[in-house]
A and B are shown apart, each in its own frame.
Chain A
């Protein structure tokens, strides 16, 4: 790790001023991504602005939504009674992520901004990484790539966005509140992330120096059932091979509304809008679930190591649709 200056502002304006959009400055929240990548030599900020003392913590009800301060930890959000009662898919996604220790550190804002676990990205000894060194190529596409993405990727980059809770939040149309040198703004999470596309180094629309201050999560209607299924080799403490966040509003034997997020597959937390479209106004059942799953993975781009994920993602979604809808398989 190279040397850096450390500052600890106490309010948001001071934090923004301390950062000042300087490309050599970075914010530090829970530290579980930032410090890890600094140790790896991937991030080398000259100044760290510790934002953990800013007044951006806590969970508040605002109309039909929850407003979650960006510094709220994963454990705190998971323990919230409203989340437990009304947003099971969020709670399950949180508690299936990382470990208790990491969830006590990691903040919800930081979680959304976590960097890929791609070991080619995380090792500066690897020359070819378009995300780390734009234009240098991608060593992962010819490598063993079991933990990589199949949606929103190309030969330029197959890095996976590994967040669980972000998958649930994109499905819920959560909104990110941002403060920056140019003022406040709000961005739907579905528009916050950017597919790897031609510029894998660009992962989201947050400007350098902007801060996520809060995440607004719409509460699901009382009648909506939801849940999160995470598929991985170990029972616990592992990133998803595939996952599915599903919320279904079923009325009189018909799916009135469906919300689907897929994890373990996308260069960004993946909203499966095409699958939702298949389900909407259809009776729940195995056939339509399989049709939705096919739609969800349309456009998948695989390398030999990720081919299995196409089928696994489909089965994961079908299983979770079956579970949430309580339809006999």
Chain B
């Protein structure tokens, strides 16, 4: 039969199959759905960061026009906390008591007939507080800390001995601020109960997780809960949890016996659905005089909510980034009165890559060695911790192709040596080794009597192109034109697939789709095994391939039959097969599963007097294994890299040091890149299909972001001679 191995390394740039719907305004996002008889919710959030609620006066709100109910901790029964998920604990239940743990914590939900009424009445809820001084800072001595939160701290060799043996050492501290995911789509939940059956349109990246959570919290079977997220206005990690507002909307709908729709405001998006937490990192590097790394020590600390968890091991990636005999990584989290952090595109690696790749640039400078040459001398040609060969690794090719396309050889070594009018010009680079991640997945493939295929799983397309690449994949595997394949995603009633996150969905769901399509062909062969009317009778899977809307013998193109003909003759309306995929196991492979690799080459211009920083060129080369669709994959890399530009130059969620209130919780004040900030970008894919999965893909959703901030900081140094170790790099630091 046809296999993924026969796919091209870089797949055809098919236009997105959901493109016509999205460009026509016909794609329906969670907030685009309404239910008959729905009421509207509006949240009231705390205006202190720590303390207790001493009283809530809801009388004015309850008396306001159209108000149906006001939910507070006084009238909401204790709701169980959601279950453990594949990514850790669920957030604490909402409105569980009178304690305030962060500014912007939900303290009431007002539900009214209309959006305007609910919003107006929410302002009428009067809350009394007994405030205590909040813990807001990484260095607050009152803060409790969590050491090695994920068991990822690592040590090999002897770092102190390595440093002692090094001819050149660098040591520096890097800080990164809170960043906010800020998907453009306001998160929205529409919850409708029908008896014990619950249907929820939710802004989630993980419908099956929300289903499990709601079933657990509200004590109903999972089969009674349906969570839909066919389109989502971005997430970048914010949609990886069943947040308290989701629970509240579902609770209100159950209490009021009518559908409730709750759409967060933009300021609420800063406190209610996570953020990339701020942190401090300390890096020590040592190298021999010829630029061989002898020691890497990377210690990271990040801020964490008072009673919630988050995955943010800044330092862990440094254990496998380079071939180095002596490595120590340590991570610590500091609990504070801040909103819950969450994974934000390339969690931990966004921050860790900034520190490590900045430090590598500092080391190159100290060695008087070209920064690219330093990386090349320390490429980990085998997995540096496991000692196993990689399932794929084209990092050297990333460096070589990037250097060629960027014109690296023309770069002068000396900082502050290029000028264009009042602009100082600099070029620099950074390398990326992104970790491998995959979760188990199920999928189903069906061919119907009209010769069309329906393929799906509960995973969703956050904009990465899942609909499109799985359409292409299924079409190829089933021998159908793409327009005869329909993908069903974003529905928890479909076979369970993992989250759109961790750069792992295409690999996981794609492999499950591959399996389902393979089994579907087997099922067709089973159907005709003893069928005297079928030219395929008695064929084994290896004898055939899928083509032209059906199956044909490899050895005889005339012996073929279409799916619809087979189904018609056997009186079947359709034939389905379920598929599954499980993550590869390194021990079984005898190899170390590789994530994506990449290299970024950046040119910046810095105004000598005004400190303005502009990115003028960016060349990125990525080893993403097999690329199913060059067009959508390239968009992923572009989007990630621009996320990196935002992190480097603009993004900074600012918390008021007295109140704990986020002081810039709007799109006017929290700056993300706009059109005018972005130059033409050069993206190239290199490498071979990865050997860890049948598809040979590696995730490309996050790798594009990692290292960009370091490359920009390094380029700012090359332009100006000024080393900036704190993000974002704003003009204040360069005056």
Asked whether any CB of A lies within 8 Å of a CB of B in the complex, the reply is yes
Interface residues of chain A, those whose CB is within 8 Å of chain B, are 1-3, 41, 117, 119-120, 123-127, 139, 142-144, 146-147, 231, 233-239, 241, 308, 311-312, 315-316, 318-319, 329
A119 to B675, CA, bound (A): 25
Interface string of B80-122 (1 = CB under 8 A from A): 0000000000000000000000000000000000001001100
Instruction: Check if B666 is an interface residue, CB within 8 A of chain A.
Output: yes
Q: Other CB < 8 Å A-B pairs besides A231-B731, A319-B422, 13 of them?
A: A1-B116, A119-B669, A124-B123, A142-B658, A144-B654, A144-B663, A147-B669, A233-B728, A236-B675, A237-B676, A241-B731, A308-B735, A312-B610
Bound complex: CA A90 to CA B317 (Å): 52
Q: Does A234 lie within 8 Å of B676, measured CB to CB?
A: yes
Is there contact, CB below 8 Å, between B669 and A143?
no
Shortest A147–chain B CB gap in Å is 7
Cβ of A233 and Cβ of B664 under 8 Å apart?
Answer: no
With A1-B120, A236-B674, A316-B610 as contacts: A139 and B731 at CB distance below 8 Å: no
Contact of A234 among B267, B610, B677 (CB under 8 A): B677
B612 touches A231 (CB 8 A): yes
Complex contact A117–B609 (CB within 8 A): no
Q: Which chain B residues lie closer than 8 Å to A142 at the CB level?
A: 657-658
Within 8 A of A (CB), among B643-660: 649-650, 654-659
A146 to B610, CA, bound (A): 16
Query: B residues engaging A (CB < 8 A)?
Result: 45, 47, 65, 116, 119-120, 123, 267, 422, 609-612, 614, 649-650, 654-659, 661, 663-666, 668-669, 671, 673-677, 728, 730-732, 735
Consensus secondary structure, chain B interface: loop
CB–CB A235/B614 < 8 A: yes
CB atoms of A233 and B731 under 8 A apart: yes
Contact (Cβ within 8 A) B676 A236: yes
The 5 A-B pairs at the shortest CB distance, nearest first, are namely A236-B676, A235-B676, A125-B47, A308-B732, A144-B654
State A144–B549 Cα separation when bound (angstroms): 63
Question: Which of the residues B119, B267, B649 comes within 8 Å of A233, measured between beta carbons?
Answer: B649
* B730:A231 contact, CB within 8 angstroms: no
Is the beta-carbon distance between A120 and B610 smaller than 8 angstroms?
no
Cβ of A141 to closest chain B Cβ, rounded Å? 10
Name 23 interchain pairs, CB-CB below 8 A, sorted by A: A117-B669, A119-B664, A123-B661, A126-B47, A142-B657, A142-B658, A144-B656, A144-B657, A144-B663, A144-B664, A233-B650, A233-B728, A235-B614, A236-B674, A236-B675, A236-B677, A312-B610, A312-B731, A315-B609, A316-B610, A318-B609, A319-B609, A319-B610
Residues in A neighbouring B664, C-beta threshold 8 A:
119, 144
Smallest CB separation, B269 vs chain A (Å): 15
Q: Give B658's nearest chain A residue, CB to CB.
A: A142
Give the shortest distance, in Å, between A91 (CB) and chain B (any CB).
18
Check A234 against B673 for contact (C-beta < 8 Å): yes
Please give the distance in Å from B424's CB to the nearest CB on chain A.
Answer: 14
Chain A residues with Cβ under 8 A from B654's Cβ? Answer: 144
A316 cross-chain contacts in B, Cβ below 8 A: 610
State how many angstroms separate the Cβ of A227 from the closest Cβ of chain B.
15
- CB of B735 within 8 A of CB of A139, answer no
By a CB distance below 8 angstroms, the chain B residues around A308 are 731-732, 735
Give Cα A179–Cα B130 distance, bound, in whole angstroms: 49
Contacts of A126 in B (CB 8 A): 47, 659, 661
Kindly report which residue of chain B lies nearest to residue A144, judged by CB atoms: B654
Does A315 contact B676, Cβ atoms closer than 8 Å? no
